């Protein structure tokens, strides 16, 4: 593998993987507009390697990451993304965006990503193999617990990937709309039925800069012991 320092753009001012964890967490956000400039395998594999430090149910490590660089594959996924976005925009987003400027801004960024999807240098498709270990399903028969245990085994790794990308100065974003039809996604990516595509992280050097994120204050979402006991809340939300 090549030396990561050769691939890091000076303009990002990135401290690389030495970036303090809190800084990475506080500034990691959905970066959809990225340059078509190449991103080395070494950088992508480093992000995935760090993703693999995450926990999985019963330590199953039943993840697979498809690194998509082939333009023809990206174009096929782009078509699926465009279709899903058109429906989602018409039925949900357009109405919200009409009265909420931050949603309108997000919608413009998503539209940019949809329009330029095949130009994005790398798409990492995070997948899960069925949760079977040693011929046994290591989950209780409760459907909700199964669902939580199943998809919950990919998202910690994806968050690690996003944080690693942030520290390296790469633009990244967790997206699911191109996978609206798992059947199409499986066909496009050559996935067997036993492998479920869960989300995609497009990676590229950012066109803009990382801006601040807007999130709810902790007092609004933290409850003591039972739901509704928001003892840390001093003002009404």
Ligand X SMILES: Cc1cc2nc3c(=O)[nH]c(=O)nc-3n(C[C@H](O)[C@H](O)[C@H](O)COP(=O)(O)O)c2cc1C
Instruction: Give the separation between CA 97 and CA 197, rounded to whole angstroms.
Output: 29
Residue 122: closest CA among 189, 48, 68, 178: 68
Residue closer to ligand X by CB (options 2, 213) is: 213
**Total residues binding ligand X (CB under 6 A):** 12
Nearer Cβ to ligand X, position 146 or 174? 174
Q: How far is the CB of 86 from ligand X (least distance, A)?
A: 13
Residue 174 within binding range of ligand X, rule CB under 6 A: yes
The mark string for 18-37 relative to ligand X (x by CB under 6 A, - otherwise) is: -----------xx-x-----
Looking at the Cβ atoms of 110 and 161, the one nearer to ligand X is 110
Query: Which residue in this structure is represented by tokens 């919950």?
Result: 152
Q: Does 175 bind ligand X (CB under 6 A)?
A: yes
**8 alpha-carbon distance from chain centroid:** 21
Residue from 59, 213, 220, 229 touching ligand X (CB under 6 A): that is 213
User: At which residue do the structure tokens 């130009």 appear?
Assistant: 119
Handedness of CA 138, 188, 90, 36 (dihedral sign): positive
Q: How far is the CB of 237 from ligand X (least distance, A)?
A: 19
Using rule CB under 6 A, residue 184 touches ligand X = no
Rounded to a whole number of angstroms, the minimum distance from the CB of residue 174 to ligand X is 4
Among 51, 78, 107, 177, binds ligand X (CB under 6 A): 177
3-class DSSP assignment, residue 77? helix
Strand partners, 123: 68, 202
Stretch that binds ligand X, among 3-11, 68-76, 106-114, 163-171 (CB under 6 A): 106-114
Residue in this structure with the two tokens 């970036």, named with its chain if needed:
19
Asked whether position 165 contacts ligand X by CB under 6 A, the answer is no
**Are 113 and 23 in contact, with CB atoms under 8 Å apart?**
no
Residue 162 CA to residue 30 CA, distance in Å, equals: 9
Q: Is 173 near ligand X (CB under 6 A)?
A: yes
Q: How far apart are CA 70 and CA 74, in angstroms?
A: 6
Classify the C-alpha dihedral 97-100-104-106 as positive or negative: negative
CB nearer to ligand X: pick between 41 and 119: 119
Residues within the interface to ligand X (CB under 6 A): 29-30, 32, 106, 110, 113, 173-177, 213
């Amino acid at each position: 593998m090549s030396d990561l320092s050769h691939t890091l753009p000076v303009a990002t001012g990135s401290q690389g993987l030495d970036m303090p964890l809190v800084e990475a967490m506080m500034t990691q956000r959905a970066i959809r507009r990225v340059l078509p400039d190449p991103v080395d395998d070494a950088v992508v594999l480093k992000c995935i390697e760090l993703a693999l430090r995450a926990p999985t149910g019963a330590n199953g490590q039943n993840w697979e990451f498809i690194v998509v660089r082939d333009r023809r594959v990206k174009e096929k996924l782009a078509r699926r993304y465009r279709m899903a976005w058109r429906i989602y925009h018409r039925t949900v987003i357009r109405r919200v965006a009409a009265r909420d400027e931050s949603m309108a801004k997000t919608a413009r960024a998503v539209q940019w990503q949809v329009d330029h999807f095949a130009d994005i240098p790398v798409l990492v498709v995070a997948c899960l193999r069925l949760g079977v270990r040693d011929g046994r399903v290591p989950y209780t028969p409760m459907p909700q617990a199964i669902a939580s245990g199943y998809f919950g085994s990919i998202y910690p790794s994806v968050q690690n990937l996003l944080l690693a990308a942030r520290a390296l100065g790469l633009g990244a974003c967790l997206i699911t709309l191109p996978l609206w039809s798992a059947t199409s996604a499986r066909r496009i990516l050559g996935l067997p039925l036993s492998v479920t595509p869960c989300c995609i992280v497009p990676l590229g050097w950012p066109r803009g800069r990382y801006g601040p994120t807007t999130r709810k204050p902790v007092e609004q979402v933290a409850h003591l012991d039972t739901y509704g006991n928001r003892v840390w809340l001093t003002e009404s939300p």
